[in-house]
Amino acid sequence: EEVRTLQGRLGRSAALAVGYRELLTHLEGMTSLDEAFGAISRNTKKLAKKQRTWFRRDPRIHWIPWLGHVHDRTARVLETLT
């Protein structure tokens, strides 16, 4: 419903964003809803991989291990911030 409401009013960048692009294609009758959701899933995974690759090369990024209990993870984040 959100995409349907915004259809025709989205700027170029927003219309190309993952999720919007695929649902706009569906609303234009070019794909089924199932195909749109499948494309959203695939394109989200591609975007996440691209972002991880980009961040991995940035020396300013400090990766925090995200294993263990939530209290351990919270402590590691707090340690990094102080």
Q: Whole-structure pTM over 0.85, yes or no?
A: no
**pLDDT tens, position by position, 53-63:** 999 999 998 88
Query: What does the pLDDT read at residue 62?
Result: 82
**pLDDT tens, position by position, 23-64:** 999 999 999 999 999 999 999 999 999 999 999 999 998 888
DSSP string, the chain: -HHHHHTTT--HHHHTSTTHHHHHHHHTTSS-HHHHHHHHHHHHHHHHHHHHHHHHT-TT-------S-HHHHHHHHHHHH-
Asked whether residue 82 carries a pLDDT value surpassing 90, the answer given is no
